[in-house]
Amino acid sequence: MPSISVENISFSYGRGDVISSVSFCAEGAARIALLGSNGSGKSTLIKLIDGLLPLKRGDIKVNGCSVKDGDIRRIREKIGIVFQDPDSQFVSPVLEEDTAFGPENYDLPDIAERVRKSLELTGLYEARKRMPQTLSGGEKERAQLAGILASEPEIIMLDESFTMLDEEGRKEMRTLVDTIWKDSMVITITHSADEAISADRVILLSGGRIIADGTPETVLTDYKLLEEAGIKAPLAVRLRKALEERGFKLPPLLTAEELKEAIWNYH
Ligand SMILES: Nc1ncnc2c1ncn2[C@@H]1O[C@H](COP(=O)(O)OP(=O)(O)OP(=O)(O)O)[C@@H](O)[C@H]1O
Ligand SMILES: [Mg+2]
């Protein structure tokens, strides 16, 4: 079972801490949204977990392996990150070679089959001979996911991913992630409260600190907390509030679907 244990970590790029005394644990098939405004430290935090940035204070364990012990390779094998900037991540001039990079690096079996399946699932099989740099923005995001699918890590982190995909494509990739990582951990990094709704746990980051860690129902309806973090409440929560201010009494709710239901049943 995948597990992450972040133990009182702090980090600085040179001038002041951008991650301060952060701790959290997660295991199994958790669906976590890491929510925070621009510059709150989300990408830094996941890079620390993946051992891409050197940790000096605190410790991080992934499946029991400590980042401090320097067993970074074993940790990286467990984690797949779809990075915020897909352009900077391509390592090969041919898409199918790029997709094969992960499994080759970790000496995984059946590489050709893994690559074929990953490109098919992400709708890129026809584009397999193309240069990744020539793909469209949305296709690049799919290509990033294909590269991770090919190694099937136990933990996947999506850093503001699929923002360039159209609604249909985003839904498709989301469903794919939820299917492939059904029994594994998915961490979604976002600045959108609406995107965090579908998680089962929301970790709210502000100025490099965790200021809330709880269910979407508790974190995403707390205006004061969200304001402190510079995050807009979910649309349905804002609409509910506006209606309440005009005298409508509605039950607590989070999603557009719930709001529709509440208005429908209003009397
Ligand atoms: N390589 C770097 N060198 C110096 N400072 C950095 C570096 N990378 C990030 N920072 C700073 O660290 C802080 C946290 O940045 P980080 O990229 O982790 O934020 P983020 O929450 O991912 O933001 P965004 O939503 O814009 O992606 C910011 O103040 C940023 O300017
Ligand atoms: Mg970021």
Ligand 1 touching residue 163 (CB < 6 A): no
Query: What pLDDT score does 135 carry?
Result: 93
pLDDT grade for 73, boundaries at 50, 70 and 90: confident
Instruction: Using a pLDDT cut of 90, give the percent of the chain over it.
Output: 87
Considering the chain, what is the average pLDDT of its residues?
94
Q: Which 8-state DSSP code applies to residue 140?
A: H
Domain ranges within the chain, ordered by starting residue: 3-233
d(C-alpha 121, C-alpha 142), whole Å: 9
Instruction: Using a pLDDT cut of 70, give the percent of the chain over it.
Output: 100
Centre of ligand 1 to C-alpha 39, Å, is 5
Closest CA to 146 of 78, 92, 94, 95: 95
Ligand 1 touching residue 132 (CB < 6 A): no
Please report, for residues 15, 149, 200, the alpha-carbon distance to residue 187 in angstroms, rounded to integers and kept in the order given: 28, 15, 10
Query: What pLDDT score does 88 carry?
Result: 77
Query: What pLDDT score does 69 carry?
Result: 79
Phi, psi of 204 (to 5 degrees): -100, 125
d(C-alpha 63, C-alpha 60), whole Å: 10
Please report, for residues 18, 20, 50, 87, 166, the alpha-carbon distance to residue 9 in angstroms, rounded to integers and kept in the order given: 11, 7, 14, 29, 37
Beta-carbon-side half-sphere exposure of residue 4 (alpha carbons within 13 Å):
28
Q: For residue 86, is pLDDT > 80? A: no
Are the C-beta atoms of 95 and 134 separated by less than 8 Å? no
Ligand 1 touching residue 192 (CB < 6 A): no
Q: Which DSSP string do the residues of 173-212 spell out, in sequence order?
A: HHHHHHHHTTTSEEEEEES-HHHHTTSSEEEEEETTEEEE
Ligand 1 touching residue 42 (CB < 6 A): yes
Closest CA to 136 of 86, 83, 94, 84: 86
Q: Exposed/middle/buried for 156, CB within 10 Å: 0-12, 13-18, 19+? A: buried
Phi, psi of 11 (to 5 degrees): -150, 145
Q: For the residues 183-208, what does the mean pLDDT come to?
A: 96
Ion ligand 2, residue ranges at CB < 5 A: 42-43, 84
155-164 pLDDT, tens digit per residue, is 999 999 888 8
State the CATH architecture for 3-233: 3-Layer(aba) Sandwich (3.40)
pTM of the model: 0.94
Contacts of 33 (CB under 8 A, 6+ apart): 187, 188, 189, 190, 195, 196, 198, 199, 201, 202, 203, 216
d(C-alpha 62, C-alpha 82), whole Å: 18
Query: What pLDDT score does 89 carry?
Result: 83
Q: For residue 70, is pLDDT > 80? A: no
Query: What pLDDT score does 109 carry?
Result: 95
201-206 vs 209-214, strand pairing mode? antiparallel
